[in-house]
Chains A and B, each alone.
Chain A
Amino acid sequence: MPKAFTPKVVTANHLLKGDVIYQTKSGWSRTLSDAEVLEDEAHADLRLIEASQQTGEVVGAYLTDIIIENGALNPKHFREDFRATGPSNYFHGKQEAGSNV
Chain B
Amino acid sequence: MYSYNEFDTAFLAERNQQFRMQVERRISGELTEDEFKPLRLMNGLYLQLHAYMLRVAIPYGTLDSAKMRKLAEIADRWDRGYGHFTTRQNIQYNWPELRDVPDMLEALSEVGMHAIQTSGNTIRNVTADHFAGAAADEVADPRPIAELLRQWSTDHPEFQFMPRKFKIAITGAESDRAVIRAHDIGIQLIEKNGAIGYRVIVGGGLGRTPMIGKVINDFVHEADLLPYLESIVSVWNQIGRRDNKYKARIKITVHEHGIEDIRERVEARFALVKPRFEGIDQALLAEIKDQFVDPDFKAADTAVFDTAYATDPIFRSWADTNLAAHKSPGYAIVQISLKAHGATPGDATSDQMRLMADLAERHGHNELRISHEQNVILPHVHKSDLPAIHRALKEQGLATANIGLISDIIACPGMDYCALATARSIPVAQQIATRFDDLKLEHDIGDLKIKISGCINACGHHHVGHIGILGLDRAGVENYQITLGGDHTEMAALGQRTGPGFSAEEIIPAIERLVQTYLEIREGREETFLQTYRRVGMEPFKAALYPAAAVAAE
Contacts and interface: CB of A to CB of B under 8 A. Distances in A.
B50 A60 contact: no
B32 A88 contact: no
A92 B50 CA distance: 9
Contact of A87 (B26, B50, B97): B50
B344 A89 contact: yes
Contacts of B477: 78
Given A59-B33, A77-B476, A79-B415, A86 B27 contact: no
A90 B82 CA distance: 11
A59 B29 CA distance: 12
Contact of A82 (B49, B97, B344, B476): B49
Nearest to B98: A16
A78 B426 CA distance: 15
Nearest to A80: B49
Query: Secondary structure at chain A's binding surface: helix, strand, loop or mixed?
Result: loop
Nearest to A93: B50
B51 A76 contact: no
Interface stretch (A1-9, A17-25, A38-46): A17-25
Contacts of B47: 13, 18, 59-60
Nearest to B50: A93
Contacts of B29: 55-56
A99 to B, nearest CB: 17
Contacts of A68: none
A15 B344 CA distance: 28
A90 B413 CA distance: 12
A77 B415 CA distance: 12
Given A20-B49, A60-B33, A92 B344 contact: no
Interface residues of A, number: 25
Contacts of A92: 50, 80, 94-95
Contacts of A87: 50, 94, 416-417, 426
Contacts of A17: 51, 97-98
Most chain B CB within 10 A, of A16, A17, A19, A87, is at A87
A83 B49 contact: yes
Contacts of A13: 47
Given A15-B27, A17-B51, A18-B51, A88 B33 contact: no
B309 interface: no
Interface in A64-95: 76-79, 82-83, 86-90, 92-94
A35 to B, nearest CB: 17
Interface string A19-39: 110000000000000000000
A61 B505 CA distance: 33
B471 to A, nearest CB: 11
A17 B473 CA distance: 28
A16 B415 CA distance: 22
A50 B477 CA distance: 31
B416 A18 contact: no
A82 B414 CA distance: 11
28 contacts: A15-B98, A16-B27, A16-B97, A17-B51, A17-B98, A18-B48, A18-B51, A18-B97, A18-B98, A20-B50, A56-B27, A59-B47, A76-B476, A78-B473, A79-B473, A82-B416, A87-B94, A87-B416, A87-B426, A88-B416, A88-B424, A88-B427, A89-B344, A89-B430, A92-B50, A92-B80, A93-B51, A94-B50
Interface of B: 26-27, 29, 32-33, 47-52, 80, 94-99, 344, 415-417, 424, 426-427, 430, 473, 476-478
Given A16-B27, A55-B33, 14 more contacts: A16-B99, A17-B98, A19-B50, A20-B49, A55-B32, A56-B27, A59-B33, A60-B33, A78-B415, A82-B49, A83-B50, A89-B430, A90-B80, A90-B344
Please provide the 6 A-B residue pairs with the shortest distance between their CB atoms, ordered closest to farther: A87-B416, A18-B52, A18-B51, A93-B50, A56-B29, A89-B344
